[in-house]
Amino acid sequence: MSIDREVFGNKVKSVTKYLWFNTKKPIEIIHITDEVRNFVRESKVIDGYVMVSAMHLTAAVYINDYESGLIEDIKEWLEKLAPQDYPYKHHRTGEINGHAHLKNLIMHHQIIVPITDGELDLGPWQEIFYAEFDGQRNKRVILKAFGITNE
């Protein structure tokens, strides 16, 4: 979906896209920088922001280094902070994903990245990730670019 408006003589655009995930494992971290970068280019926004947001309370979106050891460290760290086998009160509802809700709180559900000259304006080593903590079912992430276009 795309919405165009004119503000102070500039064309302002809002573009939305959804990414769908169905992970093979209950806990998985997926590198999505390229998908977000391609979306920003397709949006034609040259100066603005892109929001990337997990639309589920048991998943997260975050920015960090794309290094396999660090990704494993993050998984281990989260497991220590919110272990899967803990008897969470949330489990009394019949759900057994209390750990996933807490991991979401630690990692957060969304990020906002600047768009400059039509490109993601990330710092050195910064990459975008989708983190799934209660997977093996369909979940989505919303991408929303907003800003000035040159169209």
Provide the CATH number for the domain around residue 130.
Answer: 2.60.120.460
In the β-sheet with 59-64, what is the strand arrangement from edge to edge?
28-31, 127-132, 59-64
Lowest-pLDDT range of 6-20, 94-108, 116-130, 133-147: 6-20
Q: Each residue of 87-125: b (16+ CB within 10 Å) or e?
A: ebeeeeeeeebbbbbbbbeebebebebebeebebeeeee
Structural domains in the chain (count): 1
Identify the domain containing residue 140 by its residue range.
Answer: 2-149
- Give the residue with greater pLDDT, 55 vs 3: 55
pLDDT of residue 7: 61
pTM score of the predicted model: 0.93
